[in-house]
Structures are given as structure tokens and as C-alpha cells.
Amino acid sequence: MARSSEYLLPGYTYHLTQRCHDRQFLLRFARDRDAYREWLREGVRRHNVPVYGFCVTRNHVHIVVHVDETEAVSAMMQLASGSTAKQYNLRKEREGSMWEHPYQCTLIQDGRHLRNCLCYVDLNMVRAGAVAHPKDWRWCGYDELIGRRKRYRLIRIERLLTSLDMRSESEFRSWYIEAVEQRLAGGRLDREPYWTESLAVGARDFVEGIQQQYANRSHFAVAEALPGHPDAWTVREAQTSYGAI
């Protein structure tokens, strides 16, 4: 069963992902990635959604948000995907859907699990072999998170600091730059499917509590430890609809 906005719970942080239709590379041109990013920024402005991170790739998007209101997040996603698709189809004289629906959502525990998720999202195109460093892919949040991008920003830094329990932007930026460099130097670039295929990622007691909130949905699997990460657990569906990217 697909995981869409019906799974969003107010008061939590989510990693949202959405693929282009049939996994086609419909965002392969910079103008289309620019269009998506600008419509996403407009969605943030209109609906006041705190965005913590993002990456627009050539055939899918990642967005990390904090859910204050579920309707606002859904409206933001609809505006970004729908408006980008309309522009794309007009330019290409094309008909049909640009996106696979619905978008996927994975609840991420704030703190260290959120920090790891942000790194994973920004390293997406390094894993894909498109760039050597996230600073070289201008359609991700890295430049904003380290303070290099000053205008037309998407990310709500002050809200992110609260979710990370960090005292200042300088503290976060120093940590984030070092964390990304360590992952690059250590070759920690393997795909980690639990960030997209799980319903929730966090400490064991946290994900078990989340599982209880979905207790009426019988297709959920028991919380399980992540291989190589004994301090992190997930809640997963018995069969996941989101395949490998």
C-alpha cells in the first residue's frame, strides 16, 4: 500500500519522496529542476511549511519537512508537482502524468536521526555519480544549510535548529560540514533504503510509540533494528511499494 498524506501526523518531521512517472528522467534538464525548486519555494511561502532539506534529482525528489498542519504539506506538494508538470507538458507538447502518485513519507525522529537523514538526502547525487560533492549539485539543500546560499532560500533554519536541539547556526554548520566530509572520506555512500521504505526511523521506544499510533493498520511489520545501526530502529509495512531508486 502506498504511503501518502494519510500517514502524516502533525508535530513530527518527515522525509517525503516522489518519483517521476514510470521512473523516467523527466527532470534531466536544469530548467525543469529549477522550475520544481521555485514552485516548491512558492509552496513554502504560501502554506508556511517548515522545510529542513531537499534534493531535486533527475527523476525524483526528496523533501524533509516538519508537519505543523497536514493539509499545508499536501497543498505544498500539490503545488510543486502540479505546477512543474503543467509547465513541462506545455513546453514539450505532452500529455499525461509527470509523477507517480502518491508521494511517499517516512517519519524521522528529531535529533541525531534527523541529522543523519539530512546528510543522506544531500549526498543523493554523489551516490548517483553525478557530482563529487553536494556543493556541486545546486538543486539540494547543502548550500543553504552551510550558509552559502543567502537569497531565495527554502529551508527554515531556525525551526531546524529546534528539531536538532542545537544552539546556533554556526554550531550546526560546523557539524554539518564535518559530517558530510566524513561520509565522503569514509566512502559511506551506500543506498540506505530505510530512509524511504520505512514508515518511521528512530530509537526503539520512539518507533514503537509511532507503531501504536498506526495500530489499526494490520499490514505493518514489527519494529526492527537497522543492519549496522544497533541504536536505530524502523517500522515497516509488510510489503513496501517504494522500490529502489
For residue 189, what pLDDT band results from cuts at 50, 70 and 90?
confident
For residue 245, what pLDDT band results from cuts at 50, 70 and 90?
very low
Q: Which of 51, 71, 49, 72 is nearest to 63 (CA)?
A: 51
Q: Please check whether residue 154 is in contact with residue 54, taking contact to mean a CB–CB distance below 8 angstroms.
A: yes
The pLDDT, as a whole number, for residue 226 is 73
For residue 243, what pLDDT band results from cuts at 50, 70 and 90?
very low
Q: Which residues of 136-171 are buried (b: 16+ CB within 10 A; e: fewer)?
A: ebebbbbbbbbeeeeeeebbbbebbeebbebeeeee
User: How many angstroms separate the CA atoms of 155 and 65, rounded?
Assistant: 9
The pLDDT, as a whole number, for residue 3 is 59
Share of the chain above pLDDT 70, in %: 91
What single letter denotes the amino acid at residue 89?
Answer: N
Contacts of 95 (CB under 8 A, 6+ apart): 89
Rg, C-alpha atoms of the chain: 17
* Cut 0.85: pTM above it: yes
User: How many angstroms separate the CA atoms of 112 and 232, rounded?
Assistant: 10
Contacts of 101 (CB under 8 A, 6+ apart): 2, 4, 18
* Domains with residue ranges and CATH for the chain: 5-197 (3.30.70.1290)
Per the model's pLDDT, the better-predicted residue between 193 and 222 turns out to be 193
pLDDT tens-digit profile of 32-85?
Answer: 999 999 999 999 999 999 999 999 999 999 999 999 999 999 999 999 999 999
The pLDDT, as a whole number, for residue 240 is 46
Q: How far, CA to CA in Å, does 30 sit from each of 93, 162, 203?
A: 18, 33, 38
pLDDT of residue 22 exceeding 80, the answer is yes
The pLDDT, as a whole number, for residue 133 is 97
